[in-house]
Amino acid sequence: MIDMNFLRENPKKVKENLKKKFQIEKIPLIDEILKIDGKWRKLKYDEDKLRSERNKISKQIADEMKAGKKKEAEKLKKEAKKIPEMIEKTEGKRKKLEEEIKLILYKLPNIIHDSVPIGKDENENVEIKKFGEPKIPNYEIFNHAELAEKFGGVDFDTARKTSGNGFYYLRGDLSRLHSALISFAKDYMIEKGFEFIIPPFMIRSEVVDGVMSFQEKGNMMYKMEGEDLYLIGTSEHSLIGMFINKNLNGKNLPYKITGVSPCFRKEVGAHGIEEKGFYRVHQFEKQEMIVLCDPEESYEWYEKMLELSVEVFRQIGIPVRILECCSGDLADLKAKSADVEAWSPRQKKYFEVGSCSNLTDAQARRLNIRAEKSGKTYFVHTLNSTVIASPRALIALMENFQEKDGSIAIPKVLQPYMGGKKKIEMKK
């Protein structure tokens, strides 16, 4: 959420940001919010003046009573009786305008970083760097869903009967491999100094509105019928939410947290949800990292977190690349973001397996997360990055470690989590 003071002083910059985001239809909102803000400030001035007048009359009444001038004091009391009602009326109007301002601010995207490439959509994202050598074997690579069924490691048909499209039962060695990825990622992040937390898997609407845009909420979140609770789309949602309305000790920053959770997503408008496989599903598990830090350190942490996300795949042995998101592909709360993409030897191209984002103070303003240091109170900056999203990481592993006979060699770093097992073979 943009700072209203910043918008008030820099309306042209906010409009220019909307142009860079290709959200031209929102430009009239800037003039509208400034008009409402003008009315709000006038009411705030009137309200403060009334409160000052009330305090002044109260003092006068006390002085008259001390001086024994009861008639004058009674006259002042009659005047004073009118003021609370006037304050209440003015305050009510002011608060109504505050809600209107807040709703508009929620619709405006965060100010993007100067380094973000300008582009309309994901097709204009920019490749930054590649890690590992992408290989194309001289034998056919099975589709991950087909191969999983050959292993007897997945049951899509039963899941479709019990739950519908976008679900699956993971079984046997493949379910162990899935858990191995999560366990390796958890240990990796703990070694890097992140506190491991298992968060609540449901959050209230106040937290949902604080961590994502209205559009994301509508497209992603499952709401519990009859309750003010939503199933989380990622552990980031409840990990950031745990700091709501807190005033942190700035000396303790940064807060470095990692969490594992199931993730639930409606995937409204998503292509491929009807297809058999793990790529786009309604439920999966993910290891996430988040950082809360001082504003001047957030872009340094952005680079560190992106490096950590890449290093996970490098240790496993999966070739990846970093793709910087262009302005039109950034979600509204993000100031800068990059996708981590893994190599698919079957498709002969890269596909997304995670992302790293700096949201600056957008989430902190919505959730009122502040820090205090050296007598100064300020909003913290929040960042998040995927460590492992198991289904997509599993696809990348199954393709890059697939052998000619269809068996899967288990990467060395995962073998301890598989009881020393080195290969998953076809069932005879």
Return the HEC string of 184-214: HHHHHHHHCCCEEECCCCEECHHHHHHHCCH
pLDDT value at 64 more than 80: no
d(C-alpha 141, C-alpha 342), whole Å: 16
pLDDT band at 272 (very low <50, low <70, confident <90, very high): low
Helix (H, G, I), strand (E, B) or coil at 136: coil
pLDDT value at 391 more than 60: yes
pTM of the model: 0.89
Chain centroid offset of residue 410 CA: 32
The reported pLDDT for the residue numbered 274 is 55
The reported pLDDT for the residue numbered 173 is 94
pLDDT band at 422 (very low <50, low <70, confident <90, very high): very high
pLDDT band at 42 (very low <50, low <70, confident <90, very high): very high
User: What would the pLDDT profile of 281-292 be if each residue is shown by its tens digit?
Assistant: 999 999 999 999
pLDDT band at 115 (very low <50, low <70, confident <90, very high): very high
Q: How much is the average pLDDT of 325-331?
A: 96
Average pLDDT for the chain: 93
- Would you call the peptide bond into 254 cis, given omega within 30 degrees of 0 as the criterion? yes
User: Under a CB-based contact definition with an 8 Å cutoff, are residues 33 and 339 in contact?
Assistant: no
The reported pLDDT for the residue numbered 308 is 98
The reported pLDDT for the residue numbered 268 is 57
99 contact partners, CB below 8 Å, separation of at least 6: none
Q: Which of 330, 282, 338 shows the shortest CA–CA distance to 309? A: 338
The reported pLDDT for the residue numbered 404 is 92
d(C-alpha 246, C-alpha 252), whole Å: 13
- Domains belonging to the chain, first-starting first, are 4-107 (1.10.287.40), 122-424 (3.30.930.10)
User: What would the pLDDT profile of 180-219 be if each residue is shown by its tens digit?
Assistant: 999 999 999 999 999 999 999 999 999 999 998 877 888 8
Q: How much is the average pLDDT of 20-46?
A: 96
Q: How far is CA 42 from CA 88, 94, 298, in A?
A: 15, 9, 36
Q: What is the percent of the chain with per-residue pLDDT over 70, rounded to a whole number?
A: 98
* Better-scored residue on pLDDT, 216 or 336: 336
The reported pLDDT for the residue numbered 428 is 62
Chain centroid offset of residue 216 CA: 10
